[in-house]
Copies of this chain bind each other. A is one copy, B any other.
Amino acid sequence: MEKTIERLALYRRLLKNQSGKGNTHIFSHQLAGISGYSAAIVRRDLMNIGYYGTPRHGYEIKALIDCLNVFFNKPEVKSLILVGAGNLGRALIAYFIKDKTEYNLIAAFDSDPLKVNLKYNGCPCYSLEKIPELIAASQASVGIITVPAENAQSVADLLVENKIKGILNFAPVSLTVPESVYVENVDLALMLEKVLYFSVHHREGEKKNGMT
């Protein structure tokens, strides 16, 4: 189910793109082509959310986007905050501040007095004490953590205290949060390690890989 949701979010983006190009219908194998998955999995995913196409015309793009919007609770745009306006944090601010229709990044927070009260790409940076106030005012429900590993847990605790329900964590630590809070860890160093590994071991043995 989790994998399906990841793909659905991708389909949604790709379909909006296709719609922008003036296309009205799409086949499972076409969506498969642009998404990088298989046609079978596309059909199965769409079946899961209860959207039905027609054998000869495939899927109607607009209707499918609507269906995905309902699934993802759009157009309601949930508010976000980001903690840690360092190198990575600022790159993310620059990226997410752009698309107001999808993401509502309302503020960044940093413990460094030199950063407080600055604006990055128009996004205000506050001190940590402002977190309760700003979250309450904006009803933000998701937080992005881009602080050093040693401070990530305390930041997570602070976010949880203030009713944040989802965390995208870039610090290379396993966060402890209540079960009701969803955490997605993005460990970029590990991802690079994985590529380094498979750049060597990929394609050796094809179907067998000697380990089991």
User: Which residues of A come within 8 Å of B, CB atoms?
Assistant: 1, 5-6, 9-10, 13, 34-36, 48-49, 72-73, 78, 80, 87-88, 90-92, 94-96, 102-103, 141-142, 144, 164-168, 172, 174, 179-182, 184-200, 202-203, 209, 211-212
Contacts and interface: CB of A to CB of B under 8 A. Distances in A.
A48 B90 contact: no
Contacts of A179: 203
The 7 closest A-B pairs by CB, nearest first: A166-B199, A36-B174, A182-B198, A87-B91, A165-B199, A9-B193, A166-B195
A113 B159 CA distance: 42
Given A49-B211, A91-B91, 8 more contacts: A5-B197, A35-B174, A78-B199, A87-B91, A141-B199, A141-B200, A168-B192, A180-B203
B168 A182 contact: no
A41 to B, nearest CB: 13
Contact of A192 (B1, B34, B103, B165): B103
Contacts of A197: 5, 9, 72-73
Contacts of A48: 211-212
B191 A168 contact: yes
A188 B168 CA distance: 10
A194 B9 contact: yes
B184 A96 contact: no
A142 B196 contact: yes
A89 B72 CA distance: 30
A144 to B, nearest CB: 7
Given A9-B193, A168-B192, A34 B184 contact: no
Nearest to A141: B199
A188 B186 CA distance: 9
B186 A199 contact: no
Contact of A78 (B102, B185, B196): B196
